[in-house]
């Protein structure tokens, strides 16, 4: 423990001393972030390249470890191949970030570089080839999925930390909480070399934070955010490797909660808004907090608290109790939903409205279509005029139409029994109305002759092909989309209504009209 404290202190002091030097060089080299009216919210030009100070302090401190004549030094020397497997792709990621700070790589180019770094990590033996769950059980990852899963984890976490690097001190502070979780987790798993790397990296980041906290005089830049994000992702895999190479993926996933939630929200927001999934925007969590009236310092302190809570819950998963894990995920889920609602994202507000409207409409549509099918079933059993017209009355219960009219043809043959029940002769002598339902008191003649209604006319024919009449539905043009499934009307209702009409006329048994 004394060695860890010593190395932490050395790393912190080195980063503290190197950062002003890097800041001056960044200004001389022109690596400056200039404010704009979009995503960049700082008020004055600020140098980038802060990742250089962290990276150099980290490496210089690690170079001192072999000089230790104790168990820490011995463990370091014994695990040099594993440490090299971590540092080689991490160094690649660092230089990609440095290049981006000068030349501005596109998002796809960064992802290609991240996949390449993940491939190096995988080839050197640090990979996800089995998963264990806090709920119990282990799943061996098939060989074909091991690399895609490893690469996906690396790309997700690396970009998650890169996404939150938009406000003074946030990405660096979030990485401290993530690395502290890895430190505790690796100690619990018995990986002293991973604990050593984590404690040294924490020291370097805290030393840098003195200059990066609001008001920042230097930014991490992609050289820092990509390096720290990659190290957090890689260390979470390496720190979980023990014996059967199992990673309890839920623990680092929860511990990296804020960056992961930010990444997920960004992808969903951009998808809902029809924007490019990889394009930057001004809708990140810290932007929303600033719009709610917080200062940068207030926002970052609040988000530090969120990171601390996520890290605490992640470490609580070290205790593999099923009920505890379920409770943790439930509490986190409720907290995330509440937090997103409080941030008042337009995309999620619209989505929530559509979901609520969709549920209401689906329930309404279900009710309406059930009533139509019941009407069809009742018509199938109708043997008397009273039953026939009672079944038709159920159509009005759907409240989907402004008027429904049953017409019969003018053939004096089989339809003659309806003559005494005609409600109205239409302008067309071949149409006689025998039953009407109306929503309001609008005269039927106005509805039939108006241009303000759309009409669904469903013909009714006998089994012999003779035209019996039609049932006609009227609905105002300016009403919202109907809930009823027209296939129910033009299918079962049409068949059963025609059959009942034919059955009753053949028996000459039509009852009193309405």
Domain assignment of residue 418, yes or no: yes
Determine contact, residues 124/84, Cβ cutoff 8 Å.
yes
> What are 293-310's pLDDT values in tens digits?
888 899 999 999 999 999
Domain assignment of residue 150, yes or no: yes
- Residue 23, preceding peptide bond in cis (omega within 30° of 0): no
> What are 68-87's pLDDT values in tens digits?
878 888 888 888 988 999 99
Q: How confident is the model at residue 135 (pLDDT cuts 50, 70, 90)?
A: low
Is 157 found in the same domain as 98? yes
d(CA 21, CA 16): 10
Burial classification of residue 295, based on how many CB atoms lie within 10 Å of its CB (0-12 exposed, 13-18 middle, 19 or more buried): exposed
Confirm whether pTM is higher than 0.95.
Answer: no
Is 265 found in the same domain as 160? yes
> What are 428-446's pLDDT values in tens digits?
555 567 778 777 777 777 7
DSSP 411-461: -TTTTGGGGGG--EE-SSTT-EEEEEEESSS--HHHHHH-SSEEEEEEEEE
Question: CB-hemisphere CA count at 13 Å for 414?
Answer: 16
* 37-41, 209-213, 374-378, range with greatest mean pLDDT: 209-213
Q: How many domains does the chain have?
A: 2
Predicted local distance difference test score (pLDDT) of residue 241: 62
Is 10 found in the same domain as 83? yes
Domain assignment of residue 316, yes or no: yes
Domain assignment of residue 170, yes or no: yes
Between these two residues, 149 and 355, which has the higher pLDDT value?
Answer: 149
Q: Which of residues 344, 372, 391 is at a domain's end?
A: 344
Predicted local distance difference test score (pLDDT) of residue 98: 95
Is 397 found in the same domain as 318? no
Residue numbers of the domain that contains 26: 2-344
Q: 18-27, 87-96, 477-486: which has the minimum mean pLDDT?
A: 477-486
Domain assignment of residue 69, yes or no: yes
Predicted local distance difference test score (pLDDT) of residue 326: 75
Is 159 found in the same domain as 92? yes
């Amino acid at each position: 423990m004394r060695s860890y404290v010593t190395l932490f202190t050395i790393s912190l002091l080195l980063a503290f001393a190197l950062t002003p030097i890097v800041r001056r060089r960044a200004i001389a080299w022109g690596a400056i972030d200039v404010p704009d009216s979009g995503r960049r919210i700082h008020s004055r030009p600020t140098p980038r390249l802060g990742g250089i100070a962290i990276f150099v302090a980290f490496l210089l401190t690690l170079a001192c470890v072999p000089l230790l004549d104790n168990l820490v030094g011995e463990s370091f020397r014994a695990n040099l191949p594993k440490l090299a497997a971590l540092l080689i792709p991490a160094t690649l990621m660092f230089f990609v970030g440095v290049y981006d700070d000068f030349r501005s790589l596109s998002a796809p180019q960064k992802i290609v570089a991240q996949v390449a770094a993940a491939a190096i990590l995988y080839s050197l033996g640090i990979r996800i080839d089995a998963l264990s769950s806090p709920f119990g059980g282990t799943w061996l990852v098939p060989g074909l999925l091991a690399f895609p899963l490893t690469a996906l984890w690396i790309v997700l976490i690396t970009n998650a930390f890169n996404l939150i690097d938009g406000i003074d001190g946030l990405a660096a502070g979030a990485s401290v909480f993530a690395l502290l979780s890895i430190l505790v987790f690796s100690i619990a798993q018995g990986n002293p070399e991973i604990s050593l790397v984590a404690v040294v990296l924490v020291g370097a980041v805290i030393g840098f934070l003195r200059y990066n906290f609001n008001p920042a005089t230097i930014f991490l830049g992609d050289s820092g955010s990509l390096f720290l994000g990659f190290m957090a992702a890689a260390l979470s895999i390496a720190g979980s490797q023990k014996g059967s190479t199992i990673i309890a993926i839920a623990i680092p996933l929860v511990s990296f909660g804020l960056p992961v939630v930010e990444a997920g929200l960004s992808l969903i927001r951009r998808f809902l808004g029809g924007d490019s999934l990889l394009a930057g925007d001004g809708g990140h969590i810290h932007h929303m907090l600033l719009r709610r009236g917080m200062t940068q310092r207030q926002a970052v302190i609040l988000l530090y608290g969120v990171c601390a809570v996520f890290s605490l819950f992640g470490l609580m998963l070290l205790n593999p109790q099923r009920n505890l894990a379920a409770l943790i995920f439930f509490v986190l889920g409720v907290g995330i939903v509440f937090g997103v609602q409080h941030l008042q994202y337009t995309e999620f507000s619209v989505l929530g409205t559509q979901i609520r409207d969709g549920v209401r409409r689906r329930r309404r549509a279900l009710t309406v279509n059930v009533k139509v099918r019941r009407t069809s079933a009742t018509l199938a059993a109708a043997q008397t005029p009273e039953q026939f017209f009672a079944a038709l009355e159920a159509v009005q219960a759907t409240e989907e139409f402004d008027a429904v009219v049953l017409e019969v043809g003018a053939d004096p043959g089989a339809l003659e029994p309806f003559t005494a029940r005609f409600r109205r002769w239409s302008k067309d002598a071949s149409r006689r109305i025998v039953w009407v339902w109306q929503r309001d008191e609008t005269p039927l003649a106005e509805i039939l002759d108006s241009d303000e209604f759309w009409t669904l006319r469903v013909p009714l024919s006998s089994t012999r092909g003779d035209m019996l009449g039609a049932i006609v539905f009227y609905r105002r043009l300016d009403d919202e989309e109907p809930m009823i499934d027209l296939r129910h009307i033009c299918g079962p209702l049409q068949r059963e209504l025609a059959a009942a009409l034919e059955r009753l006329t053949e028996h000459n048994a039509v009852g009193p009209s309405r």
